Amino acid sequence: MAENQPWTRFAPERRNILRMFHAAQEASVDSSSLSPDALIGIAKYLNLPVAEVNGVASFYQTFARLPRGRHVIRICDSLSCRISGSLGVYHAIRNTLGIGRDETTADGEFTLEIVNCLGSCDTAPNVMIDDTLFTHVKPEDMAEVLAGVVARKENVS
C-alpha cells in the first residue's frame, strides 16, 4: 500500500472518510474531483468494499467523479426551486453552453450540476456559480450571468 497518498495522513478509521475524500480531491490534478484510483486506494486503506466507499462519496455533492470545469454551476432542483422554474433555468443554461447535467464545456470553462436544496428556498429559483448564489434567476437572464462570470475572471487574471 502506498504510504504517501493524501488520505494516509489520517488514521485508517471509517470516521475519517470525508477528510480522506477532501484530501484526495484537493490533491487531484484539477483539485476538483475524486478519481477512481483514489476511491480504490481509500477503500483499501480502510479495508472496506470499493462499492461502499463509492456509495459514501456519491452521497455528497462536494465530491465529483469527473474533472470539473473552472466554474461549477449548481442548479437547485429541490421543491421550491422546481416549482419556481428551475427546469427553465436548466434549459437556458443548456442552450447557452451546450452542456447538460454533469457535463463540462469543451473549453473546460463550465461544469453543470443539478443539486439539492441550496438553503435559500425563499429566493427560488436559485443557482450557485462557484461560491456565488444567484437568486430569483430567470431563464432569460442566464446568458448574461454566465458572460459576467467569464468577464469577472478575465478582469482578475
Q: Does 85 bind ligand FES (CB under 6 A)?
A: no
- Per-residue binding string, ligand FES, 39-68, x by CB under 6 A, is ------------------------------
CA angle 69-136-74, nearest 5°?
A: 20
* 32 vs 78, beta carbon nearer ligand FES: 78
Q: Is the dihedral of CA 88, 89, 94, 95 positive or negative?
A: positive
Q: With binding defined as CB under 6 A, does residue 79 bind ligand FES?
A: yes
Q: Return d(Cα 18, Cα 73) in angstroms, integer.
A: 23
**Secondary structure class of 146 (helix, strand, coil):** helix
| 126 near ligand FES (CB under 6 A) | yes
Task: Pull the grid cell for residue 78.
Answer: 429541490
Binding flag, residue 81, ligand FES (CB under 6 A): yes
- The residues that touch ligand FES, with contacts defined as CB under 6 A, are 76, 78-81, 117-121, 124, 126
